[in-house]
Structure 1
C-alpha cells in the first residue's frame, strides 16, 4: 500500500542530516533546505500561475497539516533491487491568494533531500497552469554539471563554473557542487499524464556572481483539475556518495498497482544487440540466431532485435532463443502504438513469446505525450511485457510504479558513433553520467563499444562502463564476436551480474573519474572510468565489507613495456588482468581516458562462476 500514514509526527532520525521548511514572509512563500544545520537552499521562491494569475506573492497562510509517511516498496531492477523501507516528513501548507484562490505547497523531507509539489484543493472544473515561480539561486563559486535542454536528453554533458554558465535552458537532472562536500541535484518525480515535464532556465548573472535557475514546464499551459497540479520538484542534497546511492526519486513515486507489486516476470540482465554493429542486421534471421547463440554461451539473458524484423520469422527466433534460455525483445516506434487498434500489436507480440519492447522516438515532454506513456505503461504491465524507452524522457520514479520499465535512453550513448562519426563520445562526458543522469534511474547508454570509429576512450574505459553505467537490461553495443575476440572482456561480461543488490561510489569526481561498486550477493563488481592523462587511481574497499585478504580480479588497460604513466602515458595495447589480495584499498593504473573493471569477493568465496546457458533440443514432430 502506498504512503502508510501515522498521525504522529516523529522526530527526524539522527542519521538524517536534511531538514526543510516553508515560510510566509513579506517577499512571498519561500522554501529553505539545510544539511547538518547549514543552509543549502536559501528562501527559494515558491508558487505558480493559473491562467495568468500569479499565486505566491501576497499569499495568506490558512492552514498547515503535518504527518509522517512510512512505506515499503520493491524494486525489480536498478541500483538496489529488493525491498526498501523509508520515512518522510510531510507538511501541507494551504494558502489563499489575494483573489481568493486556495492553493497548496506540499513539502516532503527524506534522508537524502526535500521535494515540493503544488495543488489546488478547492478548484471547480479545470484551469491552466501557465507558469511557475520555483527558482533556485546558485551561489557564486559553485560548479555545475549540465546538458543543454533537449526533450530527449541526448546533448553532451559538461562541467561549468557558475560564473561561466550561459543563460538558457538546461535539462534535468542538474548537479551543482555548493562546497567541498555538499552537492545539490535538481530533478523530478511522480509524473504522469496529468502533467508536463520540466527543465530549468538559467538567467543572467546576479550582481554577486550567482545565477538563478527557474523551473520551467515544457508546455506553455497545462490544463489541470482539482488536486495536485505538478510532479514533485526534487532537491537531492549531500555528498556525491549520498546522491549516487539515493532512492529518493523512487520513494516519492506512486506505489505499483497491487497486481504489479510482485512482477516476478520482470527479468533484469544483459542483452546482445546487433543494430550498432550492423544497421540492417535486424532483418537477418541468421544473424539474430548467431547473436542468440553467443549471448547464451556468455550466459546473457536477452536479445534485442532492432528495426527490420519480420513477423514471419519472429516466432522462430523466439523459439530458438527460448531453447537457449534467452528472451527476445522487439524494437518499435511510438507512432505505431498510438491508437487502440495499434495497441493490439502488443498482445500479438506477447503471444509469440516476445518478452519486451523497445519503443523509440517519443522526443517530447508534453502532457499529451505523457498521456501516451500512461497508456503504454498500463498495457505493457497488463500483458507482462518489459519496456525500454528510447528517444525518451528521463526516469522520474517509474521503476517503482511500473517495475516492467527496465530502461530509458535519455543519454548521449554509443549510437552517436553510428550517426556522428566525427563526434566521438568523450571520456569527460561519460564520467559525468554516474553523478547525474544515472542517479535518477536506468540509463540505456549501450556501453562497451570496442569497435567504435574514432573512439578516444581506452578498452579499459569501455569495459568499465559495463558497471559504471546501470540499466535494468544492459544492451552491449558491439558485435558479439568483438567480445569473443577479447577473452578478458568476454570473461568479465560473462561474470557480470544481471541485477544489483547495492550501489556505492568508491571514488571520483564529475571532472576526473568515477569508480562505482555494485554488489550482487557476496561479490562486488567495480567499474572505473577516467578522463585525462594516464595515472594511478586509488580505490578504497572498506565500504564493501569484504574483510581482510579479499580477492580482487582487475581487468585494465595493458600498458606497453615502456612509457608507463609518464607524460600522459603511451597508448595502451589492449586489456590485461591482475589478481591481488587486498584488505582496504587497491591502486589501479589506467591509460589516458582509461578505466578498468574488477570483481571483489571475500577470501574463500568462489570468484568466477559464469557458465553457458543450456541448449535444449528442438521439439520433434
Structure 2
C-alpha cells in the first residue's frame, strides 16, 4: 500500500543560547523556505516562496499547566531529516499520492529546563509543523492551555475567510457547525470576527503568491482549532474552542499524555492557485488509525428530505425514492431524520429488505445528541454513549444498513473530537460507514478513519431551500469551495438540484437562480465519495434526457484532480479523472459570460461531449472536436456552468 523512508542527515546539539542565528529549511526543489530563530526569547519563523515573503516573523509556542514555552526560550538542538512516502488512498481527490519533504526539528528549552520540539516538514508547496512534548521527569501528562502559533502576512495581503459561528446559536443551539459564508479578497484590516475564522483560510499575498492555512491530524487526543481575528499587531493566531461551545460544558484546552504531539498546522503556498486546489498535505502527514473491517462501497444516493423535507419521512415516499435510486442505478438511499417515529424500528427492516430487492442499500440519519444542544429530531440519544451506540449499531448491522449520517455536533472541544472518533471506531466494528452533518471540518479523517466518508461543514444545499440570500449567492460560494473547504477534505454538499423551484411541487417559491449546467457541474466540482444528490422523481421526465443520463454516469470517487483556471469568488474550472475517464467542470459567478480556451488533450479523444448554457440560460449538450492543439472554446454564462467529458 505504501512505503516510507527517513534519512537522518545531521544533529547539532548546542551548548549555549542561539539567539541571532537563523535555522533554515528548504523544500526539495528549494522553492519553499522556512527559517526559525529566537527573537527576544520567543521562537519565531518566516516563510518565503521563490524568494518572496509569504509570512513575516510569526510566533511559535505553547502555554501549558507544566510550564511556559512562549518566552525566555533557547534553542538547544537542531535535527534534520528527509521523508519520502508513497501511498494509495480512496475517498480523496487522488487515489495515488507521493510525498517528499525535508524535516527540521528544533528543540527549545525554557527557564525550568523543560524541553519542547517543533517539527517542520517542508515539501515543494506545503509546510506542515507540530509541537512534540517529551516526558518531563515524573510528569507524564500535560494540559495545553493556549497556543500562540501565529501567521503574520505582508500588509498588502487580502483574505478569503469564513466566520466561526457564534456558539449555541442557530437551529436548536447547534452552532458552531462550519456553515457560514465567505468574505473574499478583503483587506487584512477587515479580518475581524469576535469568534475568529474557521480553517481553511486562504490568502492572496499580491505578486508574492497564495497561501492556504489549515490543520490536520486532529483525533481524540486533542481539540480542533481555528484562526483568531487579526491582532492589533497584524497576526492571526491559532485559537482553541470557545468556552460557550457545547452549552459551556467541557474544557477549551487539550490534555495530552506524554510523550505527546499536537495536530499538524499546514501552510500550502504557490505562485498561482494550482497547488492550493491540488494539495494532498492533509493526508500526507497522517496515517490510518485502524484497519477497515471490510471493503466499503462508495457511490451516489437519493435523498428525499432535501427537497421534500420532513413530510417525506414516511414509508410511501421512501419507497418512491428507493425506486428513484434503482432507476438511476444509484447504490444508496439516505433516509433522514424522524424515520424512527414516522416509519418505526419494526418496519425499518422491511424497508431495508425492499431497498435491497431493488439493488439499493440504506443509509440512516441519527442525532448525535447528549447534553450539548436542543435538536429534537430522532433517533436521539443513540450515538452519544458507548452502550447505546454499540447496541444500535449491532441492530443496524443485523438488518443490513450500510452507513450512518450523524448530525448536530456543534463544537470543537476535545470531548467532541472523542465523540467523532468513538462513533467512527465503533461503526467500523459493525461494518458501517459514517458521514457527519452539522459538524466540524474533517482534518485528515479520510486517511485516518477507513469508514469515514465525508462531512458537511459548509453552507450546503439545505440552505438553498431555506434562504433567498444563499440562493442569490450560490454561484459565488461554489467558486470558493474548490479553493478552500473542499480542497482540504471531502465535502458532503448534497446538491445537483434540477427542480426550477426548490419545493416538492416544483412551483411558486424558492426559485433556483443557477442553470442546469451549473448544477450538473457541481457533481464533479464538489468532491465526496458518497454524495446524496438532490434529484426528485419528477426530474426523470421534466428535464432533458441527457441531464439524467449524465447524472447516471458521473462518478463520486476520483483518481486525479487538476486545476484548470479560475479565481475564488469569480469562476473556477477543474478536471477530475475516474479510471481513464476525465471530467472537466466549471461554474461562473461573474456578471458577464466568461470565454475560455480549455485544453482537453488529456482526454485523448477526437471528439468530446460538452454540456453548456445558451445566453438565455437554456442548457444543451453537443459534441465538439478539439483543435490541433487539443483545445476547445467555451462560454460560461453568468450563474451557469460547463461539463466536458
- Measured in 1, the distance between the counterparts of 2:60 and 2:191 equals 24
Match of 1:192 in 2: 219
The verdict on how the C-alpha distance between 1:418 and 1:243 changes in structure 2, with shifts beyond 3 A counting, is same
The verdict on how the C-alpha distance between 1:382 and 1:112 changes in structure 2, with shifts beyond 3 A counting, is farther
Whether the 8 Å contact between 2:515 and 2:619 is mirrored in structure 1 is no
The answer on 1:97 being equivalent to 2:110 is yes
1:122-141 matches, cutoff 5 A: 122-123=135-136, 124-141=139-156
The answer on 1:305 being equivalent to 2:335 is yes
1:422-437 matches, cutoff 5 A: 423-424=470-471, 426=473, 427-437=475-485
1:510-549 matches, cutoff 5 A: 510-541=568-599, 545-547=602-604
The verdict on how the C-alpha distance between 1:164 and 1:477 changes in structure 2, with shifts beyond 3 A counting, is farther
- Measured in 1, the distance between the counterparts of 2:113 and 2:263 equals 24
Which stretch of the first structure deviates more once superposed, 499-508 or 471-480?
471-480
Output the TM-score relative to the length of structure 1: 0.88
Q: What is the CA distance between 1:20 and its match in structure 2? A: 2.3
2:458 to 406, 411, 416: 411
Match of 1:157 in 2: 182
The verdict on how the C-alpha distance between 1:522 and 1:307 changes in structure 2, with shifts beyond 3 A counting, is same
Match of 1:7 in 2: 7
- Measured in 1, the distance between the counterparts of 2:540 and 2:66 equals 58
> What residue ranges of structure 1 are gaps of 5+ in the alignment?
561-571, 600-621
> What residue ranges of structure 2 are gaps of 5+ in the alignment?
11-24, 166-175, 242-250, 370-380, 503-509
Q: What is the CA distance between 1:340 and its match in structure 2? A: 2.1
Q: Deviations over 1:44-82 (max 9, x none)?
A: 21001113953132212222223223333332212113x
The verdict on how the C-alpha distance between 1:403 and 1:198 changes in structure 2, with shifts beyond 3 A counting, is same
The answer on 1:328 being equivalent to 2:355 is no
- Measured in 2, the distance between the counterparts of 1:403 and 1:181 equals 38
- Measured in 2, the distance between the counterparts of 1:422 and 1:145 equals 19
Whether the 8 Å contact between 1:526 and 1:598 is mirrored in structure 2 is yes
1:104-253 matches, cutoff 5 A: 104-123=117-136, 124-150=139-165, 151-168=176-193, 169-180=196-207, 182-204=209-231, 206=233, 211-218=234-241, 220-238=252-270, 239-253=272-286
The answer on 1:286 being equivalent to 2:330 is no
Match of 1:581 in 2: 625
- Measured in 2, the distance between the counterparts of 1:538 and 1:591 equals 11
Q: What is the CA distance between 1:229 and its match in structure 2? A: 4.3
The answer on 1:353 being equivalent to 2:400 is yes
Task: Tell me the secondary structure at the aligned position of residue 277 of structure 1.
Answer: helix
Which stretch of the first structure deviates more once superposed, 448-457 or 575-584?
448-457
Report how many aligned residue pairs link the two structures. Answer: 577
Q: Deviations over 1:503-522 (max 9, x none)?
A: 11111110310112111122
Task: Tell me the secondary structure at the aligned position of residue 202 of structure 1.
Answer: coil
The verdict on how the C-alpha distance between 1:348 and 1:197 changes in structure 2, with shifts beyond 3 A counting, is same
Match of 1:475 in 2: 532
1:85 to 98, 114, 117: 98
The answer on 1:488 being equivalent to 2:546 is yes
Whether the 8 Å contact between 1:555 and 1:576 is mirrored in structure 2 is yes
Whether the 8 Å contact between 2:118 and 2:131 is mirrored in structure 1 is yes
Q: Deviations over 1:144-185 (max 9, x none)?
A: 211111331101112032245242211110000113472111
Whether the 8 Å contact between 1:102 and 1:122 is mirrored in structure 2 is no
- Measured in 2, the distance between the counterparts of 1:136 and 1:47 equals 12
Output the TM-score relative to the length of structure 2: 0.84
Whether the 8 Å contact between 1:110 and 1:248 is mirrored in structure 2 is no
The answer on 1:31 being equivalent to 2:45 is yes
Q: Deviations over 1:440-482 (max 9, x none)?
A: 0110111112333143222222221111111111111232432
Which stretch of the first structure deviates more once superposed, 49-58 or 505-514?
49-58
- Measured in 2, the distance between the counterparts of 1:31 and 1:177 equals 19
Match of 1:603 in 2: none
Q: What is the CA distance between 1:525 and its match in structure 2? A: 1.2
Q: What is the CA distance between 1:112 and its match in structure 2? A: 2.7
- Measured in 2, the distance between the counterparts of 1:380 and 1:539 equals 47
Q: Deviations over 1:327-357 (max 9, x none)?
A: 2100001122111221120121111111100
The answer on 1:47 being equivalent to 2:94 is no
Task: Tell me the secondary structure at the aligned position of residue 155 of structure 1.
Answer: coil
The answer on 1:64 being equivalent to 2:108 is no
Task: Tell me the secondary structure at the aligned position of residue 313 of structure 1.
Answer: helix
- Measured in 1, the distance between the counterparts of 2:536 and 2:164 equals 32
Whether the 8 Å contact between 1:456 and 1:593 is mirrored in structure 2 is yes
- The root-mean-square deviation of aligned C-alpha atoms, in Å, is 2.4
Match of 1:295 in 2: 325
1:75 to 89, 112, 115: 89
- Measured in 1, the distance between the counterparts of 2:486 and 2:330 equals 22
Match of 1:592 in 2: 638
Match of 1:566 in 2: none
